[in-house]
Amino acid sequence: MTALLSIRDLSVRYRRDGVEVAALKGVSLEVAAGERLAIIGESGSGKSTLALAIAGLLLASSKIGGSIEWQSQPPRSVTPPSVLPDISPARGEIALSSLPSPTVNVAEGEPSAKLPISPLAGEMSGRTEGGAKDRQPLHFQPVGGRDIGFVFQDPSSSLDPVMPVGKQIAEVARTHLGLDWSQSLARAKTLLERVRLPDPDAALHTYPHQLSGGQKQRVAIAAAIAAGPKLLIADEATSALDTIVQAEIVALIHRLVAEDGMTLVFISHDIALAARLAERIAVLRHGELVELGATAEIINAPRHAYTRALRDAHLDLDAEPLLDRQGASV
């Protein structure tokens, strides 16, 4: 399979209370175009940091080493390209984001603010820095976030509480697909249908607080895919939901990814959930990639003791089979 992006020797360090935290330590992996990749590990293992690094959403104060290199652009299967919505949990609203340069190549310890396009720094901006226009991109360059959709754990903090959800989705379409308001609202309605919100016409006018947690997450997913991204990153997108709703959201993500031909990076601490959705699983521990393989291999024949422990811990807690032995079962 063609690689969509290659991550090489990626390390990320945060600074907190004067102390440096090494969140990622030399992680290398490729994400193939069209695959469903899960990244699992315990709390603090660096999963979110990896997701944010891929999306170019790391704090400007973080120190980044290594590279993230995007390969040639695969054919888009959905609507015209556009800038995608960044649903920023830090800001509690849908913001319009830009990605960093796809080829992020920074010396270890160099501030990420020196990246060609600034990462998250209080608010997302599409400004280029450091004379990015003069650079000759060697690879496909994702523009203004249009190529990555991001779904965060908590839909309550990723949606604007005082804006009807239809408008939140339509805003994305209007701004970035060049549609007028009626076209944008029609698109929002179609997206609400696609994420199976009951009565999409009425749902257009509802506010987030009028929806259940699962419904809010459906809206957040609709907004994340409104621009037709080629890569969808779901960061613990089901963790705040009860088990039944979790399964529904996993099924929804699986269907949308298949329908739109997206690549999926699914972040989860739950190996069972990951196994239901992903074709490959990457296991992070203390910021290091300890194992990467086909889902069936990871589940049935894990090589690393840590992966075995994750699997066995799950088996101890839940008698349900982790995998239907046929791969993703949704």
Q: Are strands 231-235 and 288-294 parallel, antiparallel or unpaired?
A: unpaired
Structure tokens at 122: 């209080």
Stretch that binds ligand ATP, among 15-23, 30-38, 82-90, 220-228 (CB under 6 A): 15-23
Characterize 159-173 residue by residue with b for buried, 16 or more Cβ atoms within 10 angstroms of its Cβ, and e for exposed: bbeeebbbbbbbbbb
Interacting residue with ligand ATP among 47, 167, 189, 311 (CB under 6 A): 47
Tell me if 59 contacts ligand ATP by CB under 6 A. Answer: yes
- DSSP label at residue 202: H
Structure tokens at 179: 């549609």
Q: How many Å apart are CA 249 and CA 224, to the nearest integer?
A: 14
SS3 per residue for 17-83 = CCEEEEEEEEEEEEEECCCEEEEECCCCCCHHHHHHHHHCCCCCCCEEEEEEEECCCCCCCCCCCCC
Stretch that binds ligand ATP, among 2-10, 14-22, 223-231, 319-327 (CB under 6 A): 14-22
Contacts of 321 (CB under 8 A, 6+ apart): none
Stretch that binds ligand ATP, among 16-24, 64-72, 97-105, 315-323 (CB under 6 A): 16-24
Tell me if 16 contacts ligand ATP by CB under 6 A. Answer: yes
Rg (CA), the chain: 19
CB of 213 to ligand ATP, least distance (A): 18
Tell me if 65 contacts ligand ATP by CB under 6 A. Answer: no
Tell me if 63 contacts ligand ATP by CB under 6 A. Answer: no
Q: Which is nearer to ligand ATP, 153 or 206 (CB)?
A: 153
CB of 173 to ligand ATP, least distance (A): 30
Tell me if 43 contacts ligand ATP by CB under 6 A. Answer: yes
Contact letters (x/-) for ligand ATP, 254-293, by CB under 6 A? ---------------x------------------------
Tell me if 21 contacts ligand ATP by CB under 6 A. Answer: yes
Residues binding ligand ATP (CB under 6 A): 14, 16, 21, 23, 41, 43-49, 59, 269
